[in-house]
């Protein structure tokens, strides 16, 4: 081939190697930019874990949020032991993801580790369950309190701020007049027909379950099928999210 031919072949090889190196460098830069964008996006995303016993009305709350925030997106992930319904919407410049989780007791400890990056937990309890019984014969509200205890005081969530929706207030107000609370919760001092005193009693019960000192427990009385009440509640949630972001930024 001769000296000229050998030099040309060598030059072409070096050029091809440089092109491959430049291409790899460009790919690395693209990946780096994408990771940076995803990281910035994650900073603007606030995750909330939504949990509650069956019949608490939390699925209705999610539906109402879809009405309050028409741009909400929803995705389901289903398996034999767990169901996750993820809804996301925008609050100003903040993307909020609500992870609605249903899971059977045997797997609870395992799935809790999957949600360490959530900012808040929302727990939904039905006030109207105070005089109801489960299939096992337990008081339904006692079961809701036990579930709250197992979640709120779990190592994974014991330092997370918690929002408690004491739901189905409208049904509760009607029932309390004919079904005395003290018959089911003997430490309630009454008066039995005073729905305000009864609702406050349950708010105090849920606050008392919390074992983490100085942890924020925000209590809201809700009627899940009333969009106006839910809108006011969500506005308060928005305010708390902003406060949490300020705290995270050291402000």
Residue 183 sits at φ, ψ, to 5 deg, of -70, -20
Phi-psi group of 250: left, alpha or beta (phi > 0 → left; psi -120 to 50 → alpha; rest → beta): left
Report, in angstroms and rounded to the nearest whole number, the Rg of the chain calculated over CA atoms.
26
- d(C-alpha 243, C-alpha 247), whole Å: 6
Task: Answer whether 123's CB lies under 8 Å from 165's CB.
Answer: yes
**Annotated binding residue at 104?**
yes
**Annotated binding residue at 102?**
yes
**Annotated binding residue at 35?**
no
Q: What is the 3-state secondary structure (H, E, C) of 205-247?
A: HHHHHCCCCCCCEEEEECCCCCHHHHHHHHHHHHHHHHHHHHH
In terms of Cβ atoms closer than 10 Å to its own Cβ (0-12, 13-18, 19+), residue 218 is middle
Task: Answer whether 149's CB lies under 8 Å from 209's CB.
Answer: yes
**Annotated binding residue at 192?**
no
**Annotated binding residue at 22?**
no
- d(C-alpha 51, C-alpha 57), whole Å: 10
**Annotated binding residue at 100?**
yes
Annotated binding site: 100-104, 167-170, 224
Annotated binding site for GTP: 100-104, 167-170, 224
């Amino acid at each position: 081939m001769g000296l000229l031919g050998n030099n040309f072949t060598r030059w072409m090889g070096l050029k091809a190697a440089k092109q491959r190196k430049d291409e790899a460098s460009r790919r690395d830069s693209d990946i780096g930019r994408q990771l940076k964008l995803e990281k910035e996006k994650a900073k603007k995303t606030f995750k909330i874990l939504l949990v509650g016993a069956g019949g608490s009305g939390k699925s209705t709350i999610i539906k109402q949020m879809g009405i309050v925030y028409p741009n909400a997106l929803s995705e389901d992930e289903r398996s034999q032991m767990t169901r996750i319904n993820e809804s996301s919407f925008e609050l100003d410049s903040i993307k909020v993801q609500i992870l609605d989780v249903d899971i059977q007791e045997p797997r609870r400890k395992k799935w809790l580790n999957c949600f360490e990056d959530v900012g808040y937990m929302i727990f939904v309890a039905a006030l109207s369950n105070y005089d109801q019984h489960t299939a096992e014969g337990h008081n339904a509200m006692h079961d809701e309190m036990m579930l709250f205890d197992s979640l709120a005081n779990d190592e994974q969530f014991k330092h997370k701020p918690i929002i408690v929706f004491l739901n189905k207030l409208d049904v509760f107000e009607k029932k309390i007049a004919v079904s005395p609370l003290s018959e089911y919760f003997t430490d309630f001092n009454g008066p039995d027909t005073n729905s305000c005193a009864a609702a406050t009693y349950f708010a105090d019960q849920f606050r008392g379950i919390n074992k983490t000192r100085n942890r924020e427990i925000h209590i809201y009385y809700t009627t899940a099928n009333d969009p106006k009440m839910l809108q006011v509640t969500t506005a308060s949630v928005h305010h708390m999210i902003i406060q949490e972001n300020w705290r995270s930024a050291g402000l």
